[in-house]
């Protein structure tokens, strides 16, 4: 198991370097001259040339690449052209917000998707199964921006149970950062009121973001459970007198979780990359909004930064999924 873990981490590092190289290449073949963009529309050729030298854009590509990789390894992602602030600083502001949103949505998706997928398999084609089927088809089909607005109208405007948008009320000071995740930090600092405020803000966007993910987790887990419940070892467990509850929750669920885990890993990456709609509707200060506005301004450094961050978390999750696979299935441990 230990060698397996190390191998997976080595693969993670390798993939990360590959991603870094790829993003470098893409930004270099993308149309537009960054030096001219920085210099502005009225700049003379001399000014553009000066900036080109200043940013090292006149050097050969391999040298630029070496500098870029060197900067990357020391945690320097360059400066945004628009705000002139270091990209790392800006990411530190936006990434935790998105990460918190995605994590809460993921937890929601797992906590609802896995048990209800399991129950739908047990009560296949009965009432509960039909209800979850309708629920999950709508989950995949409803567009996030529409569903989000609907929830806002109902829970925030009509019932006034939850705030419409934002991450915290303007009157509430965020807790002193530890993890930069508001829910975690407010708990760690013992600021329970801030915690409730943050929670009430995150519920609606998290539901909207998690809905399609929850639906696919539910359906995958259901399909797997149905298949596992028909397998020989389940017949044997029944014949040996093991109780139905134990068979479903331990003997079958453990086997069915493997493909479900793969789905969870994929969905996590998908959510990181698709928060922008939800962030727009709920005015959530995350990387989705940041990436889109930077891309529209041809501000490449933040786009590269966001790409690397999403890639990084995506790979981390998938490595964790791989490790969880091996933890669940002893047959994979030697691989």
Is 158 among the residues that bind another protein (CB under 8 A)?
A: no
Q: Is 328 in the site for another protein (CB under 8 A)?
A: yes
Residue 330 as a binder of another protein (CB under 8 A): the answer is: yes
- Which one of the spans 31-39, 91-99, 191-199, 241-249 is the region binding another protein (CB under 8 A)? 241-249
- Which span (47-55, 184-192, 195-203, 225-233) binds another protein, by CB under 8 A? 225-233
Half-sphere exposure of 226 (CA within 13 A, CB side): 13
Least separation in angstroms between CB 237 and another protein: 7
Tell me how far, at minimum, the Cβ of 37 lies from another protein, in Å. Answer: 56
In the list 116, 155, 251, 314, the residue contacting another protein (rule: CB under 8 A) is 251
Q: 3-state class of 56 per DSSP?
A: coil
Per-residue b or e along 23-52, where b marks 16 or more CB atoms closer than 10 Å to that residue's CB: bbeebeeeeeebbebbbeeebeeeebeebb
Contacts of 230 (CB under 8 A, 6+ apart): none
CB of 122 to another protein, least distance (A): 12
Chosen residue from 13, 236, 295, 335 binding another protein by CB under 8 A: 236
Which listed residue (125, 158, 232, 296) binds another protein by CB under 8 A? 232
Tell whether residue 325 is a contact of another protein (CB under 8 A). no
Which residues does 189 contact at the CB level (< 8 Å), separation at least 6? 175, 176, 178
Q: Round to whole Å and give the CA distance between 325 and 134.
A: 30
Torsion of CA 158, 211, 108, 178, to 10 degrees: -80
Q: Give the interface with another protein as residue ranges (CB under 8 A).
A: 231-233, 235-244, 246, 250-251, 254-255, 328-331
């Amino acid at each position: 198991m230990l060698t397996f873990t190390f191998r997976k981490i080595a693969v993670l590092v390798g993939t990360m370097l590959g991603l870094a190289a790829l993003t470098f290449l893409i930004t270099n073949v993308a149309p537009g001259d960054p030096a001219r963009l920085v210099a502005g529309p009225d700049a003379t050729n001399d000014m553009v040339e000066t900036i080109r030298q200043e940013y090292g854009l006149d050097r050969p590509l391999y040298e630029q690449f070496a500098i870029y990789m060197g900067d990357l390894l020391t945690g320097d992602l360059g400066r945004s052209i628009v705000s002139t602030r270091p990209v790392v600083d800006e990411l530190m502001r936006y990434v935790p917000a998105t990460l918190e949103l995605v994590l809460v949505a993921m937890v929601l998706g797992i906590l609802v998707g896995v048990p209800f997928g399991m129950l739908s398999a047990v009560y296949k084609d009965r009432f509960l199964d039909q209800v979850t089927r309708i629920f999950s088809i709508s989950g995949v089909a409803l567009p996030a921006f529409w569903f989000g607005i609907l929830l806002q109208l109902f829970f925030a405007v009509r019932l006034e149970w939850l705030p419409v948008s934002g991450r915290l009320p303007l009157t509430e000071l965020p807790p002193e950062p530890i993890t930069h995740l508001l829910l975690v930090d407010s708990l760690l600092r013992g600021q329970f009121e801030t915690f409730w405020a943050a929670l009430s803000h995150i519920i609606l966007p998290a539901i909207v973001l998690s809905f399609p993910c929850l639906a696919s987790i539910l359906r995958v887990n259901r399909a797997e459970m149905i298949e596992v419940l028909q397998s020989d070892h389940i017949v044997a467990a029944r014949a040996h007198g093991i109780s139905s509850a134990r068979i479903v929750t331990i003997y079958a669920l453990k086997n069915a979780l493997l493909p479900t885990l793969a789905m969870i890993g994929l969905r996590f990456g998908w959510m990181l990359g698709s928060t922008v709609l939800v962030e727009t509707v709920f005015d959530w200060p995350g990387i989705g909004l940041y990436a889109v506005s930077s891309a529209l301004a041809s501000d490449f450094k933040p786009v590269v930064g966001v790409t690397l961050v999403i890639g990084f978390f995506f790979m981390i999750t998938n490595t964790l999924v791989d490790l969880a696979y091996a933890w669940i299935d002893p047959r994979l441990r030697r691989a």
